[in-house]
Amino acid sequence: MTTFINTLEIELAQYANPNIALEQKAYMRNQFEYYGIKSAERREIQKPLFIKEYLPKKEELDNIVIALWEKPQRDYQYFSQELAYKYVKHLEKKDIELYEYMVTHKSWWDTIDFIAAKLMGEYFIKFPEQRAAYVKKWIDSNNIWLQRCALLFQLKYKENLDTALLGSVINSLLGSKEFFINKAIGWVLREYSKTNPIWVIEFANKTALSNLSKKEALRLIG
């Protein structure tokens, strides 16, 4: 574990660009530090660490992700969530606890959306019996990022999206003044409109969506 993390640190530091780092930090409202490495370049840098034979054992994943999540540079959080995605074919029931940790620490949309759609989305496909309890927990938490996850984990489900569940989640969040909630409502509806535009139109017309949510939901439909 230590060698794996140290190798990553050396590689990222080697490609640091202070000017780009300042731009990235400003874009994220000065909440996080950055090395100044753009996403495409970072993914090239990290490729050797993602080679199957060099990946850490699954049982080390939690400790590695948490260690990287505690580091100041945002690049480490991007890396660690993509590392976690390498193990989605070997999901265990307990993995949702790690995903919740990632959502509730250093929370911002740039990590939340990956975790919700890619990690939690895959998790609930494998463990559908877990969905109802966790969705209720997240909605009741008053944590906007967990609530956003309750909306977005079905983002890429297409024809497998559970409309009853999505409708229930949206209705439970109506009246929210949070931009990131109302934007997510519109986003998941817009994405589903590619698969089932009639359902989205009917839902949008009968539901008291915010102006932002409704505009986003119907953007592809007209």
Domain boundary among 43, 63, 90: 90
Give residue 1's pLDDT band: very low, low, confident or very high (50, 70, 90): confident
Predicted pLDDT of residue 160: 98
- Distance between CA atoms of residues 36 and 172, nearest Å: 40
Mean pLDDT of 87-101: 98
73 has which bridge partners?
33
Number of C-beta neighbours around residue 140 at 10 A: 11
In a domain, residue 27? The reply is yes
Predicted pLDDT of residue 68: 98
Structural domain count, the chain: 2
> Chain-wide mean pLDDT for the chain?
97
In a domain, residue 21? The reply is yes
Give yes or no: residues 209 and 139 share one domain.
yes
CATH at residue 179: 1.25.10.90
Supply the range of the domain harboring residue 156: 129-222
Rounded to 10 degrees, the C-alpha dihedral 43/45/49/53 comes to: 90
- Residue 222 pLDDT > 80, yes or no? no
Give yes or no: residues 222 and 138 share one domain.
yes
Helix residue spans in 15-104 (DSSP H): 18-27, 39-46, 61-69, 74-85, 95-104
Give yes or no: residues 85 and 136 share one domain.
no
Give yes or no: residues 151 and 79 share one domain.
no
Instruction: Answer whether 131's CB lies under 8 Å from 124's CB.
Output: yes
Give yes or no: residues 159 and 86 share one domain.
no
Instruction: Answer whether 68's CB lies under 8 Å from 50's CB.
Output: no
In a domain, residue 155? The reply is yes
Domain boundary among 38, 71, 90: 90
- Residue 118 pLDDT > 80, yes or no? yes
Closest to 190 (Cα-Cα) out of 170, 176, 173, 175: 170
In a domain, residue 189? The reply is yes
In a domain, residue 18? The reply is yes
In a domain, residue 209? The reply is yes
Domain boundary among 71, 90, 109: 90
Give residue 6's pLDDT band: very low, low, confident or very high (50, 70, 90): very high
Predicted pLDDT of residue 132: 97
In a domain, residue 49? The reply is yes
- Distance between CA atoms of residues 51 and 106, nearest Å: 28
Give yes or no: residues 65 and 143 share one domain.
no
**For 13-43, how does the pLDDT look when each residue is reduced to its tens digit (9 = 90+)?**
999 999 999 999 999 999 999 999 999 999 9
In a domain, residue 102? The reply is no
Q: Is 73 helix (H, G, I), strand (E, B) or coil?
A: strand
Give yes or no: residues 74 and 151 share one domain.
no
Cα→Cα distances 155→85, 93, 214, Å: 16, 21, 17
